[in-house]
Structure 1
Amino acid sequence: MDRAPYDMLLDHKRPSVSLAANREQIAALTLMSVWRRRYLILFILLLSVTAAVAALQVLPRIYASEAVVQLELAHRTADRPATGAPTVVLDPAALVQNEARILRSRPLVRAVVDELGLADRFGGGGGLPALLQRLPPPLIEPARLALDTILPGRTEQDTAELRRERAMRQVLANLTVSTDNRSYLVSIGYKATDPELAARIANAVAEIYLRREVEGRRDLAQRRVAWIDEQVEQASGRLAELETEIAAFRERTNILEPGVPGAGGDGENVARQQLRALTSQLNAAIMTRMNEERRLARVQEIVAAGGTPSASDVQGQPLISALLERELAARRDLGQLQTRLGSQHPRVAEARAGLGEVRGRLAAEGRRAVEIARTELEAARRNETELTAALTALQRNMIEAKPDETALRTLQANAQETQTRLAALVRGRQQTLADAAIAPPSAVLAMAAEPVRAATSPRPAIVLLLGVAGGGILGVGLGLLLERRDQGVRTSGDIDDTAGARCLGMVPQLPPRDAVAIASETHHKASGMPIFQEAIRSVGASVGLFDATRGCRIVLVTSAMPGEGKSTFCAALACALASAGRRVMLIDGVPARRDAQPVEPARFEEASEGLPVPADGSAPKNSMVVIRRSASLRAGADVFGTDRFRTLIEDATSQFDVIIIEGAPVMLVADSLVLGRLADTVIQVVRWSSTRKSVLSTALRRMRDHGVSVDGIVVNRVNLRRHAALRFVDQCTFYVKERRFYERLAGRGRASRRMVVR
């Protein structure tokens, strides 16, 4: 198949094809380009695999260990005080995420670093001191002195803190904490170059976390017990005062128990029953008023002091109870956060702000509670006033008796209330101590980390796969880019697509010894000559130079740039024509070219104006005359100077069958633009895989603009070995395939083929 350029889609002059055919053609061209660059791709692939193998040897082995902590969120919910007030229900997944954040917190990592002594292991691997240790020994001390002069000195405490900070950063970088939303498990993983160290750090993180959880629960229980002890002490003192007052009252009034028949010497009657009933009601009203007064006084005192009323003081107000529960939970959370994270942590600040908000709302509700308590006190007072009036009316009919019973009953009621509260406090203290002693932990170590001897990275299969994939992609990409960059003429299809002219033939490249044989008139002895001679004859036959019936033919051989190989081509073409019995004159060389050497025309006499002819007036048959243009002339002097060159050419037409003129490069010298008008045939020589198609197109366009028509293009100096590797199908393809045929053909006709070169 012919070679097609990748810019074919940008050429609007090409015939349109179907989309499927275009895609198939592009795919075929791409695969062919990859095949042509297969050795480059294989070389890059080999380099990539070698680099991957080297990376496997250089990269450190990383080992990972994992510890699993199981959270007991049900126990945490059970630890909350059971009240009738609504509580805030948190999502279990959010609680698990919170615990995961705590596991990755800096205070916990700092505790791990301090406990395992990682500051000495991880903290000295960077910074200027480490760089100083890498200097040659004579330079370490001067560099340290210079560093102390430029930078401020650090104390040992600052250095230790810096080392600990570096160790913390490294631990945080290699520590991973992952959670599963479907369970209460938290995985603690750590990666290190030492499997033992990875397991130790993962277990240390889990153990310190569990230890802090236990310490937090113990501290909370201790605070609860301390508060209960304080309340017990106050209630015990109040109960002792009430008992002393009751004993003194009984001794003063000689009343053992109030309301007992016969205790005062009077029997039970309706009036006494009514009096007792009214007295009981009045006592209840008095107690209600007194409670309301005490509650109002306590609420006012607490609100005035900026405190929060207790739940017993705000009965009937569930919002305050709920706020009290929220305040208790916020204080508990704040205490736990301060214990685990310290007072300066952002989460502690957020918890403190939340506690302040709840307390603000409690203060507002406290002021409202004061008004409600005052209203209830007024109602209690009105009720007491009414009962007092009724009792006064009843007492008018009977002698005021036993007023001290009411007072005694009141004292006893107060004592009973205080005793009941004291018993409740004692039971609460015992329950708190029992919970702290036997309550299950809120988190347990489900699985401890163990050293894993199998490295997690680097993975040889993945590294090698990446190396192979990267090398393949890089090789294919580079091959396609090089193929896209290659714009040289390499096949006859490039001539037809780019130059717009026909390809006369493709001439193989001669080995150096064969090129020397061409110059030394012994080309019939060169091993590579059969194919070369056949290619030269094919070019001559394509323009009719072997036709003896057409008279003298003037052939101009030119090129776009120097180094195309037209000199060797002209000499070979002249030799082929001479060996075929044609009389050939070769005007070889370009003026001012350093290798041009004038040839003296021996055994020739000057004809009209210096044309070399034989003595008998006619050129001999089967002869070739070589005339080199003088190297002493400046470029173009013989063409543009006088009409002598044109006259010589016209005189030679009667003496020779073919006149071959080697023209100068079209893009550099204007000789060919003038000589092209004198020539019957113009041949453009391009060098295989060297002359760019754009340069060839420009040269042909320049010649057409000056009225010179190019009959055909010859692709010269074709490297048959490289051409065969490119998988192009053209004339040179068969030169390679049928090399033995040309060798046998040259063997049969070599004895009869002679050339006379002058």
Structure 2
Amino acid sequence: MVLPEVQPRTGARVVLRRLWRGAGFIVLGGLFMVAAAVALLGLIPPSYTSSIQVLVDPTDLRVVENDVNARAPQADSGVSIAESQVRVIQSDNVLRRVVLKLHLEQDEEFVKPEAANPTLAWIKGALGMLPPPASRDPVNIALDTLQQNLTVRRAERTFVIDVAVKSRDPEKAARIANAIGEAYFSEEANARTESAKRASDALAGRLNNLKRDVEQAEGQVVRYREDHKLISSDGRLLTDQQLGDLNQQLVTASIKTAEAKSRLEQARRMKAGDASTALPEMLQSLEMQALRQQYATLSRNTAELATRLGERHPAMAEQYAQQRDLQRLIQREKERIIETTQKDYDRAAASEGAIRSNLDRVKTETTTSDRAYVGLRELERTLEARKGVYEAFLRRAREANEQERLNTTNVRVISVATPARQRSFPPSPKIVLPVALVLGMILGGAIALMLGADSDRRRDRRAAAGLGSSYRAADA
């Protein structure tokens, strides 16, 4: 005889039936977890977190042209600078300033009092849990506790540093976070002041020797000028200035002579032209314009009369006589213009000749001065080199001295810390209780499923045993 195979009970209806039968376990599991969460929330002391945001610009403020601590980072070094400032904020120098300013070494939250029970103290000492006497300084203990409650990180792809402080008191957390920002600025300012002071002291040691070298070089230049009679004005030799001025005057005089000659040639060609011929603008005069206008009007009237009366009319003779008179006046005006133009040309040519004569004389003097000026230029180059070095050192020393009182760090707080309105740990009951309820119900559901599965297995075994008995009775 073969018994029928029992199918496993894993269908959705079976699971729902098992959960329904174990609904009590689900409710009890949820309530238990909620009660446990409420108890834990009541036992765990709350902590609050306040933070500030510090913007670290890799390029410092250009208060002076040559900063001792000037940073001109490359494109890929800005992140390294920001990460370095994260380490500076976490350093002992910065945090020790905060501990001393806020007296955290007297705060029980940061420096826990030692156990009064001698037995407990002996057990801790035997287990190595007590620090050595040299490490029990309250300031150092408060510093270690502050480092544990401090979180400093840089937001990705930014130069903004988040400084978060955790404390049981929200106002204390905000006060410590703001104090860390102030201590960081003070530490950076002191570091830059110290760097500027070292640079200023190093530069000041060289200024006296450089000044003495410059004075010696200046005395050599003055004596050489006096010995060779090299007179200069505005940094140039007088002969060089005269030579430059005469060259410029010669160019101007040559242009004027050429222009005067051109006008003279045009005036001579104008003399043979007709009275009605247009004149160049450079040869125009008010009197010539008036005569030519009269001649044009008279010629127009004569032409009109000739058309109406004829060429042989007695009135035409008078018109022709007036035209001849105007032509003579125009011709005399042309001769006057030619004479004036000739005089202008003569004066321009004479002026050009005088300038050329002076230029030749100055060239001769310049040749003599240039021979002596070779040695002078060598002395002046030496003087300029020494003076340049001295002025650079002097300017740098003054800038370094001034930078001791300047803070060129381009760092600023973009968000100050304020007391937190909600605790950061443990999480809010609005989050913990629903999560605890869901976890408890899941745990209760798992228990209900396991118990239901065990009950179904026992029921199946009993049913299989009863069915086997029935088959044996039927066979008998």
User: What stretches of structure 2 of length at least 5 have no aligned partner?
Assistant: 238-360
Aligned mates of 2:126, 2:11 — CA distance in 1: 69
Aligned mates of 1:430, 1:478 — CA distance in 2: 82
Equivalent residue, structure 1, for 2:214 = 239
Aligned mates of 1:31, 1:149 — CA distance in 2: 58
User: What stretches of structure 1 of length at least 5 have no aligned partner?
Assistant: 1-10, 16-21, 262-266, 284-405, 504-681, 683-708, 713-758
- Counterpart mapping for 1:255-654 below 5 A: 255=227, 257=229, 273=367, 276-277=370-371, 406=375, 410-433=378-401, 437=405, 440-458=408-426, 459-486=428-455, 489-490=458-459, 494-497=461-464, 500-501=467-468
Q: CA deviation at 1:471?
A: 0.8
Cα pair distance change 1:188/1:79, threshold 3 Å: farther
2:83 pairs with one of 59, 73, 97: 97
Matched, 1:197 2:169: no
Secondary structure of the residue aligned to 1:501 is: helix
- Counterpart mapping for 1:82-231 below 5 A: 88-121=74-107, 122=109, 124-125=111-112, 129-130=114-115, 133=116, 135=117, 140=118, 157-160=134-137, 163-181=138-156, 183-231=158-206
Cα pair distance change 1:154/1:449, threshold 3 Å: closer
Larger % of helix: which?
Answer: 2
Q: CA deviation at 1:437?
A: 5.0
Aligned mates of 1:711, 1:164 — CA distance in 2: 93
Determine if contact 1:93/1:181 at 8 Å carries over to the other structure.
no
Cα pair distance change 1:181/1:151, threshold 3 Å: closer
Cα pair distance change 1:443/1:480, threshold 3 Å: same
Structure 2 length as normaliser, TM-score?
0.58
User: 1:263-312: CA deviations, max 9, x gaps?
Assistant: xxxx99979938945x76xx5xxxxxxxxxxxxxxxxxxxxxxxxxxxxx
Equivalent residue, structure 2, for 1:65 = 50
Equivalent residue, structure 2, for 1:544 = none
Aligned mates of 1:215, 1:203 — CA distance in 2: 19
Equivalent residue, structure 1, for 2:14 = 29
Aligned mates of 1:112, 1:12 — CA distance in 2: 81
Secondary structure of the residue aligned to 1:213 is: helix
Identity of aligned pairs, percent?
A: 20
Secondary structure of the residue aligned to 2:51 is: strand
Secondary structure of the residue aligned to 1:49 is: helix
Cα pair distance change 1:123/1:90, threshold 3 Å: same
Aligned mates of 2:153, 2:62 — CA distance in 1: 23
Amino acid at match of 1:461: K
Q: CA deviation at 1:472?
A: 0.9
Aligned mates of 1:424, 1:184 — CA distance in 2: 35
Amino acid at match of 2:367: Q
Aligned mates of 1:101, 1:150 — CA distance in 2: 33
Secondary structure of the residue aligned to 1:191 is: strand
Aligned mates of 2:100, 2:86 — CA distance in 1: 21
Determine if contact 1:62/1:191 at 8 Å carries over to the other structure.
yes
Amino acid at match of 2:112: G
Q: CA deviation at 1:43?
A: 1.9
Aligned mates of 2:219, 2:160 — CA distance in 1: 60
Determine if contact 1:495/1:502 at 8 Å carries over to the other structure.
no
Aligned mates of 1:216, 1:158 — CA distance in 2: 28
Cα pair distance change 1:218/1:171, threshold 3 Å: same
Structure 1 length as normaliser, TM-score?
0.39
Aligned mates of 2:229, 2:387 — CA distance in 1: 18
Equivalent residue, structure 2, for 1:568 = none
Determine if contact 2:47/2:425 at 8 Å carries over to the other structure.
yes
Q: CA deviation at 1:211?
A: 0.9
User: 1:104-151: CA deviations, max 9, x gaps?
Assistant: 33443343334333234345438xx43xx2x3xxxx3x7768988998
User: What is the count of residue pairs matched by the alignment?
Assistant: 342
Aligned mates of 1:60, 1:474 — CA distance in 2: 28
Q: CA deviation at 1:495?
A: 4.4
Amino acid at match of 1:465: P
User: 1:487-543: CA deviations, max 9, x gaps?
Assistant: 6644xx65444664267xxxxxxxxxxxxxxxxxxxxxxxxxxxxxxxxxxxxxxxx
Aligned mates of 1:100, 1:460 — CA distance in 2: 34
Determine if contact 1:70/1:443 at 8 Å carries over to the other structure.
yes
Aligned mates of 2:5, 2:193 — CA distance in 1: 90
Determine if contact 2:150/2:164 at 8 Å carries over to the other structure.
yes
Aligned mates of 1:181, 1:156 — CA distance in 2: 42
- Counterpart mapping for 1:677-756 below 5 A: 709-710=472-473
Equivalent residue, structure 2, for 1:347 = none
Determine if contact 1:68/1:188 at 8 Å carries over to the other structure.
yes
Aligned mates of 1:95, 1:64 — CA distance in 2: 26
Cα pair distance change 1:241/1:110, threshold 3 Å: same
Aligned mates of 1:470, 1:413 — CA distance in 2: 89
Aligned mates of 2:425, 2:129 — CA distance in 1: 41
Amino acid at match of 1:168: L
Cα pair distance change 1:258/1:68, threshold 3 Å: same
Determine if contact 2:110/2:146 at 8 Å carries over to the other structure.
no
Aligned mates of 1:455, 1:500 — CA distance in 2: 65
Secondary structure of the residue aligned to 2:227 is: coil
Secondary structure of the residue aligned to 1:454 is: coil
Secondary structure of the residue aligned to 2:423 is: coil
Cα pair distance change 1:239/1:198, threshold 3 Å: same
Equivalent residue, structure 1, for 2:31 = 46
Determine if contact 1:224/1:432 at 8 Å carries over to the other structure.
yes
Secondary structure of the residue aligned to 2:45 is: coil
Amino acid at match of 1:273: T
Equivalent residue, structure 1, for 2:305 = none
Aligned mates of 1:212, 1:230 — CA distance in 2: 28
Determine if contact 1:123/1:165 at 8 Å carries over to the other structure.
no
Cα pair distance change 1:40/1:444, threshold 3 Å: same
User: 1:657-712: CA deviations, max 9, x gaps?
Assistant: xxxxxxxxxxxxxxxxxxxxxxxxx9xxxxxxxxxxxxxxxxxxxxxxxxxx4569
Secondary structure of the residue aligned to 2:440 is: helix
Aligned mates of 1:52, 1:203 — CA distance in 2: 34
Aligned mates of 1:53, 1:495 — CA distance in 2: 45
Amino acid at match of 1:204: A
Query: Which is higher, the Rg of structure 1 or of structure 2?
Result: 1
Aligned mates of 1:143, 1:89 — CA distance in 2: 58
Aligned mates of 1:195, 1:71 — CA distance in 2: 26
Q: CA deviation at 1:189?
A: 1.5
Aligned mates of 2:140, 2:74 — CA distance in 1: 38
Aligned mates of 2:80, 2:409 — CA distance in 1: 20
Amino acid at match of 1:44: G
